[in-house]
Structure 1
Amino acid sequence: MRLTAQPAFVLHTRPWRETSLLVEVLSAEHGRVGLLARGVQGPKRHPLRAALQPLQSIRFDAVWRGELARLIAAEAVDVAPRLSGEATLAAFYLNELTLRLAPRQEPQTELFAAYARARERLRVGEPLGWTLRRYERDLLDALGVGFDWRTDGDGDPIDPAARYRLDAEHGPRRLLLDRGRADRAGAATGRALLALGEDRMPDAADLASLRRAIRDVLAHHLGARGLKSWEMLGALAATVAPSRVQTESDA
């Protein structure tokens, strides 16, 4: 099957043999696609290399053969966001999470649109924590495993004053008042859940409560192998003030 002028975002690129690249992209019509780009590495810089950088928006032509498609042509649609510091780690997390959870060869129009929005938010410098939480919410929705953020798993309205754990199968579960500090640390506030459902940025403390709660859901869907970006963030947290890491870029 031939793919022509397909819009996509580059998620990951790695060398293959001496002169080729294996490229993973997210496309609207075909979901995650693995591309084999032959002959683009070597002493002379190949024109395709610039279009195959992570976070780049491209249009590509390819021929599908088995699990991978052979890349024929690709062109950059725009200039990829130029990021630094914590924003670079946030982009790495965005791409890694998408790479791990987006299915191959399945239409993903909603996820493609959500990725485009998150990429633009990184470009313009919107708060990183809020950008990532919104993308995690949209990714879960696009994959059909999201939540109704207005009600808990039993169908009761979310209480803004309560705390909730997110059960990947059941939905939000209200935390009992007598639970310990460790349990409360892994739970989101009801205010945060409602704000996320309304696409309204919560205050810093409520926003921070969403991170761990949503991570538990993502870990369930990822399986036994976590994300490298989580490991990188753990190393960063050991050297950076915890409040700054959690409020700005904690994935």
Structure 2
Amino acid sequence: MSKELEYLPAFILHTRPFKENQLLMEMLVAGEGRISIIGYKGSKKNTAKTALMQPFRALVVQFKKNTGLRTLKTLDENQLLSKQLSALKSKSLFCGFYLNEVICRLCTADAEYETLYPLYVYSLRNLSDLSLSSNSHLDDAHTNLYLEWILRQFEHRLLQMLGYGISFEQELTMQQSICEDLHYQLLGDQGFVIDAAKPSSLHGKDLLAVSARLNTQVSLEDFVLLDNEAFLAFKRELTIAKSILRVCLHRHLGDKPLKSRELFRR
């Protein structure tokens, strides 16, 4: 007697044509990770299914594992989660594509990543907040900073999940706590070592501040309340985080450019 298939929460990360009327879908599935699944395209008569087979739609899926690839059996809307997420627009949408592309590039298909789905949902929730009309009072500068924070948090936590993360709180060689009054240098993509005070070195106080930013939840309401001094400090810390995480990501992404980054240049 065949085992009944589970219903699992999922998102589509990317699709491409496979065979006649079929798609090869890269999916992020709760408790599983990134999985390649073959499914039939929605027809003109089944526009509801076609609408669901899009990125950033919260889904519940059943799939069957054949020899090699998996086959999609059912696909439905995850109604509970869908009610909590609004459609991504403008820069939030670009950021969503960036998340999807980084996952597809860094996360091996069929490897189990139990915490990847919760991380993705957490990031989507934050991105979708910007699409709500109640947050229209946020100006462009604060919106951009909020998006930067979402992306840097995602990169940092993803690298940690994959075992590629670095510590912003502990020195690499001596395994001592980062000291506010000392200066440090990033050693490849491995971590920080004590360095002399010079233009290329990083102040320990800044590294600890970056660590706090990357590990703390910040709401849109918090951003609205930032005064100019706090805003500039936040922006400076995220600029430092971006330069560090870009080095770490490049080590694993390689030289092939990310297509989603081009969206931000248009």
Count of matched residue positions in the alignment of Structure 1 and Structure 2: 228
- Change in 2 beyond 3 A, CA 1:18/1:66: same
Alpha-carbon distance in 1 for matches of 2:153, 2:47:
36
- Change in 2 beyond 3 A, CA 1:159/1:58: same
> Quick one: which of 195, 201, 209 aligns to 2:212?
195
Amino acid at match of 2:161: A
- Change in 2 beyond 3 A, CA 1:166/1:96: farther
SS at 1:13's partner residue?
Answer: strand
> Quick one: which of 208, 212, 217 aligns to 2:243?
212
Amino acid at match of 2:198: D
Stretches of structure 1 lacking an aligned partner (at least 5 in a row): 237-251
**Bigger Rg, which one:** 2
Structure-2-length-normalised TM-score:
0.75
Note if 1:85 corresponds to 2:90: yes
Question: 1:67 offset after TM fit, Å?
Answer: 3.5
> Quick one: which of 148, 164, 176 aligns to 1:156?
176
Alpha-carbon distance in 2 for matches of 1:59, 1:43:
22
- Change in 2 beyond 3 A, CA 1:153/1:65: same
Question: 1:24 offset after TM fit, Å?
Answer: 0.8
- Change in 2 beyond 3 A, CA 1:115/1:12: same
Structure-1-length-normalised TM-score:
0.79
Stretches of structure 2 lacking an aligned partner (at least 5 in a row): 131-142, 219-232
Question: 1:128 offset after TM fit, Å?
Answer: 0.8
- Change in 2 beyond 3 A, CA 1:230/1:103: same
User: Within 5 A, what are the aligned runs for 1:132-151?
Assistant: 132-151=151-170
Amino acid at match of 2:178: I
Q: Is the 8 A contact 2:42 2:49 kept in 1?
A: no
> Quick one: which of 6, 9, 12 aligns to 1:7?
9
Give the percent of matched residue pairs that are identical in Structure 1 and Structure 2: 26
CA root-mean-square deviation: 2.7
> Quick one: which of 149, 169, 186 aligns to 1:165?
186
Note if 1:31 corresponds to 2:62: no
Amino acid at match of 1:121: N
What corresponds to 2:254 in structure 1?
A: 223
Question: 1:46 offset after TM fit, Å?
Answer: 4.2
1:33-87 Cα distance to aligned partner (Å, 9 max, x none): 111112x244434432222211122111111123421111111104353122111
What corresponds to 1:245 in structure 2?
A: none
User: Within 5 A, what are the aligned runs for 1:63-142?
Assistant: 63-78=64-79, 79=82, 81-125=86-130, 127-142=146-161
Q: Which moves more between the two structures, 43-52 or 91-100?
A: 43-52
